[in-house]
Chain A
Amino acid sequence: MADYMPHTPDEISEMLGFLGMTSVDELFVAIPAALQLGRALNLPDGHSEPDVRADFQAYARRNSGASSTLLCFAGAGSYDHEIPPVVKALGSRSEFVTAYTPYQPEVAQGVLQAVFEFQTMVARLAGLPISNASLYDGAASLVEAVNLTAASSGNPVVWISSGVQPHWRQVLATFAEGTGHDIRDVPLRNGQADFSSMTGTPGVIVVANPTYLGTLDDVEGAKALALQHGAKLVVAADPITASLLKSPGSQGADVVIGEGQALGTPLSFGGPYLGLFACADAELRRLPGRLVGETLDVDGTRAYVTTLRAREQDIRREKATSNVCSNQTLMAVWAAIQLGWLGTKGIREVALRSIQGTRYLRDELIKIDGVEALTGDAPVTRDAAVVLPISASLAIERLAEEGFLAGISVSALTGGGDRSIDASVVENTLLVAATEKRTRVEIDALVAATEKIVR
């Protein structure tokens, strides 16, 4: 009977006596007997930690992980980057891990300052003056960005590039049932959002830089279109490649969002990740989530505090524009540490090597007879899509036998395809990514294995 509670039987008796009770059941006197369970929960009895560890080892053995059995060439927002021991050691300090939301700033300066540093780094990467303390993940940031900009423009029509990560768009569609936003997908041509078929007047335009296919939407063109329609511009960016590309802020984005997993969070089967959210000054009063600001304490010492709290749900209640309460503070702290480790030069190096690796992999794959680049000559960044002569799902299964997670089936990712991909090739489209961790030997081995299975 293992647990984490300190009470001895004597103490329980003593505490009950203090309350004038003789049995713990009396504590629940307010709960009508007819409603009480009246039996034990139908779960196994408690097991010791070593016993439960064995259960988890069994789960782990039935997975293929990137650091154990499979070399990871999958991306689409989740990347296998180097996370150094220093990030793991600092990020697992229990002062960060087991703290609550910093509502008492006098004893929460550690988390508050780390988040302030995170906000600074994200704002710099985005090229915008404001970043919040994070949201749940890339999809949540997209939803909140659309909520903010639709309210800000006063027009609920959203034109969204089909290059935005497909699962994020699916989440946006789910939320639109509640918000009533009119979400319209913009098709891709050569890997870039093509607005020529769009009619009507958008209140929000969302483009991706890069797209989930690794290509680059025309942000400046989208900005011109937004200005023409009086719409707000949201750019979904990747924080790593943002160190090389022109900043969305400098190109006129009102809101920049992204998935921050690449900044120190392991693949983690998809969560928890880190939603990035930066915006222009004009949007500040609608900013979702928490914001840390610098101030002074009564002695005039520099101090940090969550600020502009009047925006948040616990104060505005039904008038709030966002219901977000928790965020991903721990992952934001990890990101600040990881970015501190990478520094100004290191993040560029990781971005460049990831693009070089992915491009090399893509170029080698399309040398195979019958394999083609999905997006033709369009530049690719950290992801790239190739069309195989066989089903991508089948290729992934067979390449797993050779020790590779060869990529992602675009058909699976998009739920059978969407307007971004020609229906005739979607089943055979494989999305690949090579981070700075993948060597030429590993890439060449994947290409050789692919050549064998598509023959």
Chain B
Amino acid sequence: MKSTINQAPGGKASSAPLMGSAAEPTLFELSVPGRSAYQLRTTGVPEMPLESLIPASLLRESDVDIAEVSERDLVAHFTRLSHRQFSVDLGFYPLGSCTMKYNPKFCDEVANMVGLVDVHPATPASLSQGWIELLVELEADLCEITGMAAVTLQPAAGAAGELTGLLLMSAYHRARGDRRKRILIPDSAHGTNPASVTLGGYEVTTIPSDERGLVDVAAVKAALDTDVAGIMLTNPNTVGLFEEEIAEIAAAVHDVGGLLYYDGANLNAILGVVRPGDMGFDIMHMNVHKTFATPHGGGGPGAGPVAVSQRLVEYLPGPKPVRLEDGNYGYETPPHSIGRMHSWHGNAMVLARTLAYIKVHGGDGLRRVAERAVLNANWLRKRIEGDYPPAYDRVCMHEVVVSAGAIKRETGAKALDIAKALLEEGFHAPTVYFPLIVDEALMFEPTETESLQTLEALAQSLEKIAAKAISDPGSLALAPQSTPVRRVDEARAARQLIPTFDAR
């Protein structure tokens, strides 16, 4: 459907031309023996010879070659690398399932405050009251947002959260003398789900989706017995749809003594609207780098807090930050804790950004986040449906999965070609070929921080690409043309593996 939006300037990265197209040598090639950049403090500590400190038999015979560059060369090298990199700050990143929203600079600033960033993790509680208070406050906020009873902040990322959840399930059942073996997972699930299940010591039973893109409730019921430890669901699911029968599923799983795990990857869509705890879930993780806008960092760091219902509180990892009866803050380990999940207290700096984001938005702002994320996704769905029919033609949540199957059949242009052509247009590509159940899937998640004009610009580029698929189908296979590099030979990378400079 056409819109009446006049696309204002901006909204898209002028892509490739902005980014460096000249190849950058590695730091090792820039190295010149004898150059250096480092400067260390004058300490006056007695300079005992190394051999008097450590037996010579344990020492290296020659230096480890790192690189020898000047500070100026170092700065130029990494600045030029940064020019060869797309980012949220540069342009629109409609990458489905990844919630690439704008990362407020403020959250970075407050986390990096002296008094937070420079605190050693083994600092006794009495000397780190502010940090513990911050973590306790975040736990309380996350409980309210999720409708759960308690939270652990230790898991370092979503996948670690999933494993934490499965270990909690296992501990819960074990305490009842119950050794259950199976976990139900829909076929549309994120790959981390089944991988975590295996590492948690369970077996996966895959549940098919129905023609609506939802979990087949009859199939769930048929698979349930007392050997099922629980079910892992994403809701809204990975095709961007709300599992409407969740209450019925929850009741059925609970009836056989199983637990419900909520993959919080798509929490952004429902903030302040509906809570996993109220849907009947017992355990969930949150991907704070998605929902709460902590920067992705090119693939991490994340943080994956896990929230649980009352019946699982006693098993949470420890030590856990708590407010003590005297009003001070300290740590306690829950009575039947599964143990420690992180070297220290979790990814504290990421968690501090999370709290800052929550405080700026407040309860009212978080609801607006969900509303506008869903509004943007639906506007985009409707806007592009002519060329890119949605895989499931219904009101979607925060993301929309469309199929390029028809385009492929008519023109030969694949979902991948469309994604690569978008790079040439100055946008990041959507997620492609996921979820696995949709033919030539393109998954768009615009997030709430993109403007109507930016969405229109994306839609126009998608139209242009669809037209090109018909008029000049071969050209899409050659896209992108003006990015820092063009399509890369992934097969060669795997076949002739060069994982380090020394393997060249």
Contact = CB atoms under 8 A, between A and B. Distances in A.
Given A333-B298, A337-B78, A267 B118 contact: yes
Given A313-B191, A323-B162, A324-B159, 5 more contacts: A36-B274, A42-B363, A95-B85, A124-B500, A179-B201
A120 interface: yes
B431 to A, nearest CB: 8
A244 to B, nearest CB: 6
B97 to A, nearest CB: 10
B199 A323 contact: yes
Interface string A26-61: 111111101111001111111111001101111111
A104 interface: yes
Interface stretch (A106-114, A224-232, A445-453): A106-114
A267 B120 contact: yes
Interface string A107-139: 111110111110111011100011101101111
B159 A439 contact: no
A167 B360 contact: no
12 contacts: A96-B298, A106-B487, A129-B503, A177-B201, A267-B119, A268-B121, A269-B344, A298-B486, A308-B494, A314-B191, A318-B198, A357-B45
A356 interface: yes
- A-B CB proximity, top 6 nearest: A270-B344, A60-B115, A270-B121, A110-B85, A330-B297, A46-B362
Contacts of B65: 124, 344
B71 A86 contact: yes
Interface string A88-103: 0110111111111111
A318 B194 contact: yes
Contacts of A339: 66-67
Contacts of A305: 488, 490, 493
Contact-residue size bin, chain A (C-beta under 8 Å from the other chain): 35 or more
A43 B60 contact: no
B359 A346 contact: no
Interface residues of B, number: 213
Given A108-B85, A171-B340, A439 B45 contact: yes
A16 B375 contact: yes
B296 A63 contact: no
A247 B170 CA distance: 40
B159 to A, nearest CB: 5
A74 interface: yes
A178 interface: yes
B489 A297 contact: yes
Contacts of A266: 117-118
Contact of A330 (B64, B242, B300): B300
A103 B185 CA distance: 25
Contacts of A365: none
- Kindly name the residue among B191, B343, B352, B434 whose own CB sees the greatest number of chain A CB atoms within 10 A: B343
B344 to A, nearest CB: 3
B464 interface: no
A211 interface: no
Contact of B299 (A133, A301, A344, A437): A133
A2 interface: yes
Contact of B363 (A41, A61, A70, A244): A41
Nearest to A342: B38
B301 interface: yes
B186 interface: no
Contacts of A14: 4, 452
A64 B121 CA distance: 11
A272 B344 CA distance: 10
B44 interface: yes
B395 interface: yes
Contacts of A177: 167, 170-171, 201, 338-339
Given A37-B274, A59-B134, A405-B123, A90 B78 contact: yes
A60 B200 CA distance: 38
A303 B485 contact: yes
B365 interface: yes
A316 interface: yes
A208 to B, nearest CB: 13
Contact of B361 (A46, A105, A119): A46
Contacts of A216: 54, 58
A266 B504 CA distance: 33
A111 B299 contact: yes
Interface in B148-192: 156-160, 162-163, 166-167, 170-171, 190-192
B473 interface: no
Interface string B287-319: 001000101111111110000000000000100
A3 to B, nearest CB: 5
Nearest to B129: A62
Interface stretch (B22-30, B218-226, B252-260, B402-410): B22-30
A270 B343 contact: yes
A45 B121 contact: no
Interface stretch (A195-203, A287-295, A367-375, A421-429): A287-295
A68 B68 contact: no
A5 B487 contact: no
Nearest to B504: A294
B26 A328 contact: no
Contact of A64 (B78, B119, B397): B119
A65 interface: yes
Given A40-B363, A412-B122, A5 B449 contact: yes
B268 interface: no
Contact of A43 (B47, B126, B141, B374): B141
Interface string B65-89: 1111101001101110111111111
A87 to B, nearest CB: 9
Contacts of A323: 159, 162-163, 192, 195-196, 198-199
B279 interface: yes
Contact of A31 (B106, B242, B343): B242
A319 interface: yes
A439 B44 CA distance: 6
